[in-house]
Amino acid sequence: MASRAVASIALLLSLNVLFFNMVSAATCPIDALKLKACADVLGIIKIPPNQQCCSLLGNLVALEAGACLCTAIKANVLGLNLNVPLDLSLYLNRCGKKVPQGFKCP
């Protein structure tokens, strides 16, 4: 009987870990190549946000938007050398989003 309880607990813990990782992993639901429209956001601070960039990120929650920008930065789609934590925050802020607390580029 005890071995059955241990097996059940092990199964539940395994499923818990599996589902937790699936929920916490952010993915980009849009084509990262489209984010090339975001390349000039950092260079032009005194004008309104880049509408093409923000419209791409607009329908995404901050976690997804961050994941998309991280993907674009890592693939160098933007053609810029960026300081990821700071510049990611600037990109999202320009489009009215905030970097989720504790978010790190995957």
Q: What is the pLDDT of residues 61-105, one digit of tens each?
A: 888 888 888 887 777 776 666 666 667 787 788 888 888 888 888
Q: Is the pTM of this model over 0.75?
A: no
Say which residues have a Cβ less than 8 Å from residue 71's Cβ, sequence separation at least 6.
28, 32, 35, 77
Q: Hunting for tokens 């607009």 — which residue is that?
A: 58
Shortest CA distance to 38 belongs to which of 91, 101, 104?
Answer: 91
DSSP one-letter code for 20: H
Positive or negative torsion for Cα 51, 53, 57, 63:
negative
Nearest-angstrom CA–CA distance, 55 and 35: 10
- Residue 17: C-alpha distances to residues 20, 101, 102 (Å): 5, 21, 19
Tokens describing residue 55? 């419209």
Give SS3 for 21: helix
**Residue 72 parent element (H or E):** helix 62-74
pLDDT band at 5; cut points 50, 70, 90: low
